[in-house]
Structure 1
Amino acid sequence: MTDPLSNVQRLVDDWERNAQEKAARYESMRQEVERISLTRSAAGGAVSVTVGPNGIPSDVSMTEAVSRLRPEQIAAAVMEAMRQAQAAYPAELARIVGETVGDTESGRHIVATAEQHFPQVEPDTPPPAPPRRRREGDDGDFSDDSYLG
């Protein structure tokens, strides 16, 4: 017959060991996340943006090729490169979470939060056309036919 006190002690010891192992896995995750550095480029490589932990930009660099771009093109390239780098952040975070803490509720929450803040970038979608000014009597259907028949 086993001693109830030794069973309780074994349960406490197991719980403590599991808690220490879990804490070590989360510490490892934290250290890996702090090392994240993702760089993406735009405008044919003329502009590069690096994001670090939490997807925050940590560096912007430009090559001589920016001298051929207009200021608004440079600004758009910086934003494009930044969005691309940030869009890669959730996947890198998911890799780290998977390798350190595994498929846990808190790990899924961490990745889902990153995905909300840094959604995937739609490939080469042109900006919407500005609204067309309507002339008097223009119903906006681009034809001269009446919808009344």
Structure 2
Amino acid sequence: MTDPLANVQRLVDDWERNAQEKAARYEAMRQEVERISITRSAAGGAVSVTVGSNGIPSAVVMTEGVSRLRPEQVAAAVMEAMRAAQAAYPAELARIVDQTVGGTESGRHIVATAERNFPPVEPESPPPGPPRRPRGDDDGDFSGESYLG
């Protein structure tokens, strides 16, 4: 016959060991996340932005190349590089979460929050070109037409 007290003790010991292992995995995740540093560049490398462990910019570096840019181009390049670095943050965080705590509910929540806060960069559509002239029998002579209908 098994001792009920021994069974309870074994359950408590298992729970305690699992809790310690889980705490160690989350501590490893925290340490890895603190090391995140993602740098992206824009304007042909003239501007670089680095984001840190929280996805917030931690450094902005500009080379001599910015001297060829207008102020609004410099500002746009900073924003472009920052968005690109931030857009890479959720994937790096997901990699760390997967390696440390796996597909836990809290791990999925952490990654989902980062994805919501730092969405992928949408590719910019090229500016529209000049209007096209209609093709066909239109000779461009509007002298026989009334603008009144």
Q: Which TM class, normalised by the smaller chain length? A: 0.7 to 0.9
- Between stretches 98-107 and 117-126, larger displacement belongs to 117-126
Alpha-carbon shift at residue 126 of structure 1 (Å): 4.9
Per the alignment, residue 36 of structure 1 pairs with 36
Per the alignment, residue 139 of structure 2 pairs with none
Query: Is 1:8 the equivalent of 2:8?
Result: yes
- Equivalent pairs, count: 131
CA distance in 2, matches of 1:25, 1:124: 40
Q: Based on CA coordinates, which of the two structures has the bigger radius of gyration? A: 2
1:124 is matched by which residue type in structure 2? E
Mapping for residues 60-79 of structure 1, pairs under 5 Å? 60-79=60-79
Alpha-carbon shift at residue 55 of structure 1 (Å): 0.3
* TM-score, scaled relative to structure 1: 0.84
Q: Note the residue ranges of structure 2 that are not aligned, 5 or more in a row.
A: 129-146
Instruction: Map Cα deviations across residues 67-119 of structure 1 (whole Å, 9 max, x no partner).
Output: 00000000000000000000000000000000000010000000000000000
1:3 is matched by which residue type in structure 2? D
- CA 1:16 to 1:127, structure 2 compared with 1: closer, same or farther past 3 Å? farther
CA distance in 1, matches of 2:18, 2:62: 49
Alpha-carbon shift at residue 122 of structure 1 (Å): 1.1
Q: CA RMSD in A?
A: 1.8
Instruction: Map Cα deviations across residues 20-39 of structure 1 (whole Å, 9 max, x no partner).
Output: 00000000000000000000
CA distance in 2, matches of 1:11, 1:103: 24
Percent of pairs with identical residues = 85
CA distance in 1, matches of 2:45, 2:79: 13
CA distance in 1, matches of 2:125, 2:62: 23
